[in-house]
Amino acid sequence: MSDARRQPASFRDRSGFLFTRDGRLYRQINRSYQADYEALLTSGLYQELVDLGLLVAHRESSEPPADPALAFKVLEPERIPFISYPYEWCFGQLKRAALCTLEIQKRALARGMSLKDASAYNIQFRGPQPVLIDTLSFERLVDERPWIAYRQFCQHFLAPLSLMAQVDVRLSQLLRVHIDGIPLDLAARLLPAHSRLRPGLALHIHLHAGAQRRYADVPSAASRGRMTRSGHIGMVDNLEVTVRGLHWEPRGTAWQSYYEETNYSAAGIENKLALTESFLNQIRPRSVWDLGANTGMFSRLASRQGIFTLSIDSDPGAVELNDRACVKETSSDLLPLLIDLANPSPALGWQNEERMSLRERGPADAILALALIHHLAIANNTPLSDIATWFSRLTRWLVLEFVPKQDSQVQRLLSFRADIFDDYHEEGLEKAFAGAFRIVSRQPVHESSRVLYLMERR
């Protein structure tokens, strides 16, 4: 039996932690959480939430604990295909995650329990559906004690959602800086004055921030309030109304209308789809990352074959439209994410290990890099050889589209800068990639000057 490896992201909870052994994921429950865990099961809450798809299932395991001195039980939870973070979610995903958290809290209250934390990091996605992954988030409801996770919910969910809806959708990226949630005083300063006229935002952001300032130096302030069970339910209902009242429509972002504005003919698009699908059939990957996916047209070639597919783009409007399509399709194999590939999610948190970088969550079996190379090489000044090295660290198989300078999309980029890219041509691309990949197939795209490559890492 190999040694257990404790997961860095679960160090904060004294009730237990995640660890891996021989490639399998386990959760140790410490003795300090025994009574709450047993209440979770005997109350019927665990089974109710699992049946509704709101909580990951687990089985109790005979696997030896990672820390026997503390251990009560070891669980083997269901694994989520890909761990994503709130700063990688579009508006719709963050809103559904917030509503999922509130729905879980309502059902917990009905069974005499409560969420002791409301971290957005405890929510993950199975396709478009949010699900709670932390079995240890529950505690028995203590009479007249306020909801201990109220501030956390407001910082992790309500503050970013209100800023995205009321100010600018790009403010979701504040969550990369404030990984414990956006401070309410900061949110209150950034929100427009008219947000105070909305009762939910006035109460849960502005007045809440003011209360935090007033009681910041009072040690016992958190325990002074009293709240009945009906008060808990009323608070959750009010938060739900506030969250549901926040909306953002994807208008005016740079690339959300790409397919309406591209210079592809109908025959060119169909040929590109056919070539990409042919390459996928040839290599049969188990996982695909579609980088620069826009609204996910080509991502769906993979996901419809049952291949788990990340559909990554940096345009908030494109990712939002992609996510809305996923909700309608109820596809469990496609996950849109909002990530800037020129500045991808880094390792964050305590010792830079609490939240993994994008690269650490790989590799993928295959990457689709369609209409992407010119953005990296020209818009971001990245040498082609560096791009090749980066791809080789992420995947074995690469489906890459080369877009030459005469293409209107490249001309659009060059219209804002001098053309200093002397090696940006097919020969230069093939030479730059030769050290990291071998070309398996090269296919011109019909009725265009573009070329599609299938490459395998050396």
Query: In this predicted model, what pLDDT tens digit does every residue of 345-402 receive, in sequence order?
Result: 999 999 999 999 999 999 999 999 999 999 999 999 999 999 999 999 999 999 999 9
Confidence of residue 260 (pLDDT cuts 50, 70, 90): low
Query: In this predicted model, what pLDDT tens digit does every residue of 130-174 receive, in sequence order?
Result: 999 999 999 999 988 999 999 999 999 999 999 999 999 999 999
Query: In this predicted model, what pLDDT tens digit does every residue of 74-125 receive, in sequence order?
Result: 999 999 999 999 999 999 999 999 999 999 999 999 999 999 999 999 999 9
Q: Is the pLDDT of residue 262 over 70?
A: no
Peptide bond into 363 cis (omega under 30): yes
Q: Is the pLDDT of residue 256 over 70?
A: no
How many whole angstroms separate alpha carbon 289 and alpha carbon 347? 19
User: How many CB atoms are closer than 10 A to CB 225?
Assistant: 13
Report the candidate in 376, 344, 342, 373 with the shortest Cα–Cα distance to residue 361: 344
User: How many CB atoms are closer than 10 A to CB 42?
Assistant: 10
How many whole angstroms separate alpha carbon 17 and alpha carbon 134? 10
Query: In this predicted model, what pLDDT tens digit does every residue of 217-249 receive, in sequence order?
Result: 665 555 557 899 999 999 999 999 999 999 999
Query: In this predicted model, what pLDDT tens digit does every residue of 2-48 receive, in sequence order?
Result: 688 999 888 888 999 999 999 999 999 999 999 999 999 999 999 99
pLDDT of residue 144: 85
Q: What percent of the chain has pLDDT over 90?
A: 86
372 close to 292: Cβ distance less than 8 angstroms: yes
Query: In this predicted model, what pLDDT tens digit does every residue of 64-88 receive, in sequence order?
Result: 999 999 999 999 999 999 999 999 9
- Phi, psi at 101, each rounded to 5°: -60, -45
- Phi, psi at 399, each rounded to 5°: -105, 110
Of residues 1 and 132, more confidently modeled:
132
Instruction: Provide the token pair at 419.
Output: 């053309």
**160-to-96, 117, 183, 275 alpha-carbon distances in Å:** 13, 17, 10, 40
Mean pLDDT of the chain: 94
Q: Is the pLDDT of residue 62 over 80?
A: yes
- Phi, psi at 408, each rounded to 5°: -65, -30
pLDDT of residue 278: 97
**CA angle 120-199-324, nearest 5°?**
45
* Helix/strand/coil percentages in the chain, nearest 5: 45, 20, 35
Sequence-separated (6 or more) residues with CB below 8 Å from residue 46: 40, 55, 135
pLDDT of residue 3: 84
- Phi, psi at 216, each rounded to 5°: -60, -35
